[in-house]
Structure 1
């Protein structure tokens, strides 16, 4: 496996990528986004069920295969919807950089507002060319259990910041569940990835543990996308967390997850204990633990969703980690074929990989591809 490039802060598009590096990066981008969506879809039928209810519905082993949710197998939730708009916002930030404007949190916030429109509109407005292609995907115009914090935080155009976060008491995992794409900015330094993910998390989740979990998760994905081990990526996160006010719940949860690995065979009871009250730090702990102890991707994802907490979130986070670690081809093919919106996810993943590796060939201050700007308008 080729070692991914690690260009300077300006981003991967400023580097020369070899063919092998491009292929490896594309596989990890696809793996991350599809893996997160698969985990989300696997956990969706178990949302709001206790462990006892999960076993009563699916047997003593719990859920071991995709099951119907929202009227079909492989249906995704708001976690995947928002992750896709995160990618859209990051691409748009790169495109808008040609104009001299460079503030990715603003572009991601605008993307989240486009997602919020899908939750209240009947369908896409073809007249709004500035929305780009993703906002015209009709299948996204469906409410799939969005958290109240996300709907409230994006209920107006005001953008939350670290100084003035939205929903200061919001401590859930929805912000972390959409944050894997930040980790795919492999040309950025880890502390900048952390900062960006946290700045975008506070647009809906203002509790320190919630936005620090988003930053921590993004940095773990970042390490995996750059070819690091999962344990090494977590150790890096613990160092970065130590300098952040309010980090202790997140630090303790990650250390708890690492300690649990050494406590014998994995079990649903141990996962249920790690998830605790289902807040962001518990969800992150479960994702890391299951990615570490899973015998393979399928086993890791099943372990991640069979508990009494927010199964779609733990599945999404664990799937993003496993996809970034192993790449697209390691994902269970039978599940991938049933995944709702798979063509959209793959198209967006390939656009992101293209932008990050070949951006200057697609657009510049002097000349740009009209087709690319139609997909990702600068407006």
Structure 2
């Protein structure tokens, strides 16, 4: 449960949760149409400044990718974990794993299977049944004969993978502001090894969750990075993630923001590079718009770096700071808002939603079994 707050503090928290999910989705959509293009190709097609707004992807403007899909299913899993806790069970990685299996079904099925009782409302959203360049490690870890096995730190899925598919979906763990940072980090790690087993992959996800968590608790992004670095130092295999975060801080101090400085941090295909680019673009952003555009105009995984940057900017500034014209065209905006509000409801009023006196509506919305 979140701490006892005044009404004003609760409203601020809700705005920032919405900001994280909407901001991440906007960054994802800005990068979706240029994800596999070089910076030269982006500028040749869209002008010297590169993209300055949405460009068509997957048949429309404002389309999101697997990044936003997996973020939404992460939130769904966290809500169900809290519902299950009220009934006497508590193992969030299991609920998140089940949520990711439901996401995997959206990548191969034409639409929701109405015979399935576990889908809940999110799993019945037909617009999510779309294949949007999902990461190979995510698909491999959640399909085939090994799909039902829970990856663990001792026996992770895809032990050699550190792709950015582990970090782009990790922001929701930072929304658990009633938790201590070390526990947020641990949960993000345990849910990363469901698909990505390389230490750099899961530690980058843990670090990202801690940075989001710090910001939602009132700290700066720099505070979050320092908190993450302190926690990383306790973990074996942290060196690449630590170096990437320190590189992002050094790039901020190096001079004027530029695509060249983004390129020095990498292309974002692997977890630590996506994290470093997202953090750098957030720290140098004059406003939400400029930070997001810097985060996607590069030769690399533009949608994932946009997702990381957008999530952080949304955490810092809340939903009202997000550009209205980008919100208006964003695919799935209503679903994203509903899920954000449901998470806040669960964390703040869960006992009223599924306590002894509550009806079945919430458990039908978020079934656990």
TM-score scaled by length of structure 2: 0.97
What is the aligned partner in structure 2 of residue 371 from structure 1? 361
Which one is further off, 126-135 or 241-250? 126-135
Q: Are residues 1:122 and 2:113 paired?
A: no
Classify the secondary structure of the residue corresponding to 2:118. helix
Aligned partners of 2:266 and 2:328: how far apart in 1? 29
What is the CA–CA distance in structure 2 between the aligned matches of 1:268 and 1:58, rounded to whole Å?
15
Kindly tell me the number of residue pairs found equivalent between the two proteins: 366
Aligned mate of 2:9, from 21, 25, 40: 21
1:255 maps onto 2:246 in alignment: yes
Assess if the C-alpha contact under 8 Å between 2:268 and 2:274 holds in 1.
no
User: Structure 2: any 5+ residue segments left out of the alignment?
Assistant: none
Q: Is residue 2:190 matched to residue 1:199?
A: yes
Match of 2:280 among 282, 289, 295: 289
Q: 2:35 maps to which residue?
A: 47
Quick one: distance in 2 between partners of 1:227 and 1:359?
24
In structure 1, the partner of 2:52 is 64
Query: Over the residues paired in the alignment, what is the CA RMSD in angstroms?
Result: 1.0
Q: Does 1:174 align with 2:162?
A: no
Q: Could you say what secondary structure the match of 2:299 adopts?
A: coil
Distance 1:278 1:121 in 2: 27
Q: CA deviation at 1:358?
A: 1.0
1:111-156 per-position Cα deviation (integer Å, ceiling 9, x unaligned): 0000001111110122223210000000000000101111000011
Following superposition, the deviation at residue 99 of structure 1 comes to 2.1
2:309 to 309, 313, 318: 318
Q: Which of 234, 249, 266 is matched with 1:243 structurally? A: 234
8 Å contact kept, 1:17–1:357: no
Cα deviation for residue 274 of structure 1 reads 0.9
Alignment match, 2:300:
309
Work out the CA distance in 1 between the residues paired with 2:270 and 2:77.
26
- Pair 1:152 & 2:152 matched: no
**What displacement does 1:276 show?**
4.5
Matched, 1:88 2:89: no
Distance 1:192 1:134 in 2: 26
Which whole-Å CA distance do the structure 2 matches of 1:168 and 1:281 have between them? 16
8 Å Cα contact 1:153-1:167 kept in structure 2: yes
* Structure 1 range deviating more: 19-28 or 314-323: 19-28
After superposition, give the CA deviation of every residue in 1:7-45 in whole Å (9 maximum; x if it has no partner).
xxxx32xx4332112101100100000000000000111
Which among 130, 133, 147 is matched to residue 142 of structure 1?
Answer: 130
C-alpha contact (below 8 Å) 2:54/2:62 kept by paired residues? yes
Aligned to 1:278: 269
The CA deviation at 1:370 is 1.3
> TM-score, normalized by length of structure 1?
0.95
SS at match of 2:33: helix
The partner residue of 2:320 within 314, 323, 329 is 329
**Structure 1: how far apart are the matches of 2:267 and 2:72?**
28
Structure 1: which 5+ runs fail to align?
1-10
Q: Corresponding residue for 1:3? A: none
CA distance in 1 between counterparts of 2:36 and 2:301 reads 7
